[in-house]
């Protein structure tokens, strides 16, 4: 959840602050593991936590859930294949639609280049699904 090529290339130390480790633990154990289990194949996180400096370097918005803004967490996941990412998105969408997982946002990013999943640990998760 901390590894980032952009961070490495720019000398950015991208470490999850101790107070937000619970956010990512929750995201992994309650959301990502369920999606991976239903998908039945390995998935890769290509973007998890982003410190403020990294978020700016990648052009993320200031309110990005990747930064744990307002007690949230987010991950961009991929199978490294667009067609498989489409299947992965549909699996996640079904889990959200059947209330097996609760998310704030599930987004098909850039025509299935990756799948974004964001959650709030406090407040209301909207279960928004965006298939761009």
Q: Look-up: residue for tokens 């280049």?
A: 113
What values do phi and psi take at 69, rounded to 5?
A: -55, 130
Number of domains, the chain: 1
Distance of CA 131 to the CA centre of its chain: 15
Q: How far is CA 105 from CA 6, 7, 18, 74, 126, in A?
A: 24, 25, 24, 9, 7
Q: What is the dihedral of CA 10, 66, 26, 76, to 10 degrees?
A: -80
For residue 8, what is the enclosing H or E element?
A: helix 5-9
Backbone angles phi, psi at 123, to 5 degrees: 90, -165
Residue 9's alpha-carbon distances to 58, 64, 80, 115, in angstroms, are: 12, 21, 21, 24
* Runs of H (alpha helix) within 27-128: 33-39, 52-57, 82-97
pTM: 0.95
Query: Is 128 a residue whose pLDDT tops 90?
Result: yes
**Predicted local confidence at residue 115, as pLDDT:** 98
73-126 pLDDT tens trace: 999 999 999 999 999 999 999 999 999 999 999 999 999 999 999 999 999 999
Per-residue confidence at 131, pLDDT binned at 50, 70, 90? confident
CA torsion through residues 107, 72, 23, 45, sign: positive
* 23-77: pLDDT as tens digits: 999 999 999 999 999 999 999 999 999 999 999 999 999 999 999 999 999 999 9
- Residue range of the domain that includes 76: 5-131
User: CATH number for the domain including 121?
Assistant: 3.30.1380.10
């Amino acid at each position: 959840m901390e590894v980032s090529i952009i961070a490495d290339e720019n000398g950015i130390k991208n470490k999850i602050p101790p107070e937000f480790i619970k956010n990512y633990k929750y995201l992994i154990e309650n959301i990502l593991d369920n999606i991976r289990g239903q998908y039945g194949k390995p998935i890769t996180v290509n973007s998890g936590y982003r410190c403020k400096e990294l978020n700016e370097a990648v052009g993320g918005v200031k309110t990005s859930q990747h930064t744990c803004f307002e007690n949230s967490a987010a991950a961009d996941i991929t199978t490294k294949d667009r067609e498989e990412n489409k299947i992965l998105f549909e699996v996640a969408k079904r889990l959200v639609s059947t209330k097996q997982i609760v998310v704030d946002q599930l987004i098909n990013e850039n025509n299935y280049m990756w799948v974004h999943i964001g959650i709030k640990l406090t407040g209301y998760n909207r279960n928004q699904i965006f298939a761009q």
